[in-house]
Amino acid sequence: MSASKKHEITIIYGDGIGPEVVTSTRTLIDAACPNIVWETAEAGAEVFKKGIASGVPQETIDSLNRTRVALKGPLETPVGFGEKSANVTLRKLFETFANIRPVREFPGVPTRFSGAGIDMVIVRENVEDLYAGIEHMQTPDVAQCIKLITAKGCEKIMRTAFEFARSEGRKSVACATKANIMKKTEGLVKSTFERIAKEYPDIESWHIIIDNCAHQLAKKPEQFDVIVTTNMNGDIISDLGSGLIGGLGFAPGANIGHDVAIFEAVHGSAPKYAGKDTINPTAMILSGVMMLRHIGEFEAADKIENALLYTLESGVHPRDVVTDTPPVGTKAFTDAILKNFGKKPVNWKTRERTPMKVPARPATTAINKVEKRETIGLDVFVEFDGTAAEIGPKVEAACKGTGFKLKIVSNRGTVVYPLTGTSPDVVNQWRCRLYLEQPVVEPAMAQVNGLLESIEGQGLRWMHIEKLCKFDGVESFTKAQGEN
């Protein structure tokens, strides 16, 4: 890309330490790449205070729609109450489905793993999974969050991981899942990974169970190159990763979508450090470096990265690096980097990179085509304050004359009726697994309504139903624990 090409970029300073780390990053980018035109936009705490429940005002949405690229500071989210995260809202509104988080050991930043050669990238799915934000109190005592995993989402994240690996000349992609337990959701992640991996025969692909992945990350992190994983797993292991190389002050990130990309550090707003000039801007600066590469400004990116690493290598560092030399403040650290423009660290090799191909948006919502579908029953979730021995006969009575028969009742996923002779604790949410006497393509609404009325007639309050299907003969559901 030409050095004189103007780039319009949305800049969001964010909350807490956001303004300090974003200002530091902007100062360096302005010095290395003068052809950036910044458009300041707001999101987060100040916006919530104005009464905008999403934390993202329309002006910010308009700005991003125009510029397609943002440099963003961390945004504060109330924990356990209040409005939804403005970060997640931004990621979801702009479908930035991939979160790319490099984890690389830095010169001049001593850690337990110094010298091991950690240099990996975690590619985290960014909009689905438990972060789809579909939550309900199913009873006053039982909360549920839906873990939404889609074939489309899986395809996109897998292709991104392999494309990213190619763009950086990386050799292997590991997919970390919990498919041994969550056979449908995490299972879809694993099977999609295995399918897409075949399109990239030049890159080694392997699967690892996420808990072992965490164990291996703590034990022998240098074995990983690219790790692709789901939203929740990725959130956790990328913080783990940052802990290996010096902490959250060193963990940059990019949110990549089909149309928009948002560059931000992994860390949050660390409110206790806000305005104290002690925070480490490295994570945000390196997010800015990723942004420069994304817009094709490779030279400016290398200039900032080299100067930053030279500065760290020469012993100038912020408070979170513990060495014999005293730390400097955020501003002094930024000034030192600026002075070191043109210098290169000894113990760091800038990777050869080519622009990453962002996978195209799949044209259809139906990825896995099915020839034959049958409905074989329903899972009806009901509220009932009683015992397994009491609810079982009620459900059996409710089924009479409806065309359904009781298979099992489960509580918190474990079979409790027919009585098993075991003693799992129970709560007031029960799943009644009812099979149709005659499987059909679609059950008639009158038949389903009749069943629900009959269930209500037994004093069981239904709150949710789920179809039990077979797609091309394969059951669309998993068995309850203990179900045969």
> Site residues (CB under 6 A) for ligand NAP?
17, 21, 74-77, 87, 247-249, 264, 267-270, 279-280, 283, 320
Task: Give the residue at shortest CB distance from ligand NAP.
Answer: 268
Using CA atoms, how far apart are residues 424 and 94, in angstroms rounded to an integer? 44
Q: Is 379 a catalytic residue?
A: no
Q: Shortest gap between Cβ of 316 and ligand NAP (angstroms)?
A: 15
**Phi, psi dihedral angles at 172 (to 5 degrees):** -145, 145
- Beta carbon nearer to ligand NAP, 231 or 429: 231
Using CA atoms, how far apart are residues 83 and 86, in angstroms rounded to an integer? 8
- C-alpha separations of 91 from 225, 263, 335 in Å: 25, 11, 32
Tokens describing residue 306: 């080299």
Catalytic option among 131, 310, 379, 394? 131
- Beta carbon nearer to ligand NAP, 241 or 247: 247
Q: Contact at 8 Å (CB) between 375 and 467?
A: yes
Give Cα 445 to chain centroid, integer Å.
37
Going through 69-188 in order, the beta strands assigned E by DSSP cover 69-72, 98-104, 119-125, 135-139, 142-145, 172-177
Give Cα 390 to chain centroid, integer Å.
42
Q: Which residues contact 150 (CB under 8 A, 6 or more apart)?
A: 128, 188
Q: Contact at 8 Å (CB) between 8 and 39?
A: yes
The Cα diameter of the chain in Å comes to: 83
Catalytic option among 72, 92, 156, 178? 178
Question: Within a 10 A sphere around the Cβ of 272, how many other Cβ atoms?
Answer: 9
Q: What is the DSSP letter of 129?
A: B
Using CA atoms, how far apart are residues 318 and 247, in angstroms rounded to an integer? 12
- Beta carbon nearer to ligand NAP, 21 or 176: 21
Q: Is 472 a catalytic residue?
A: no
Q: Shortest gap between Cβ of 322 and ligand NAP (angstroms)?
A: 11
Q: Contact at 8 Å (CB) between 227 and 237?
A: yes
Q: Shortest gap between Cβ of 271 and ligand NAP (angstroms)?
A: 6
Smallest CA-to-CA distance from 447 within 480, 404, 476, 478 is with 404
- Residue that is written with structure tokens 């799943």 in the block: 431
Q: Is 156 a catalytic residue?
A: no
- Beta carbon nearer to ligand NAP, 17 or 196: 17
Mark out the alpha helices in 229-352 (DSSP H runs).
Answer: 231-244, 282-294, 298-313, 330-339
Q: Contact at 8 Å (CB) between 115 and 141?
A: no
Helix, strand or coil, per DSSP, at residue 194: helix
- Beta carbon nearer to ligand NAP, 6 or 112: 112
Using CA atoms, how far apart are residues 409 and 394, in angstroms rounded to an integer? 11
Q: Shortest gap between Cβ of 22 and ligand NAP (angstroms)?
A: 11
Q: Shortest gap between Cβ of 11 and ligand NAP (angstroms)?
A: 14
Catalytic option among 30, 62, 141, 211? 211
Q: Contact at 8 Å (CB) between 392 and 406?
A: yes
- Beta carbon nearer to ligand NAP, 108 or 249: 249
Q: Shortest gap between Cβ of 283 and ligand NAP (angstroms)?
A: 6
Tokens describing residue 213: 């992945």
Catalytic option among 235, 302, 303, 379? 235
Q: Shortest gap between Cβ of 132 and ligand NAP (angstroms)?
A: 18
Could you tell me how many residues make up the chain? 484
- Beta carbon nearer to ligand NAP, 16 or 153: 16
- Beta carbon nearer to ligand NAP, 252 or 443: 252
- Beta carbon nearer to ligand NAP, 63 or 280: 280
Q: Is 349 a catalytic residue?
A: no
Q: Shortest gap between Cβ of 341 and ligand NAP (angstroms)?
A: 22
Report helix, strand and coil shares of the chain as percent, to nearest 5: 35, 25, 40
Q: Shortest gap between Cβ of 274 and ligand NAP (angstroms)?
A: 10
Residues identified as active-site: 131, 178, 211, 235
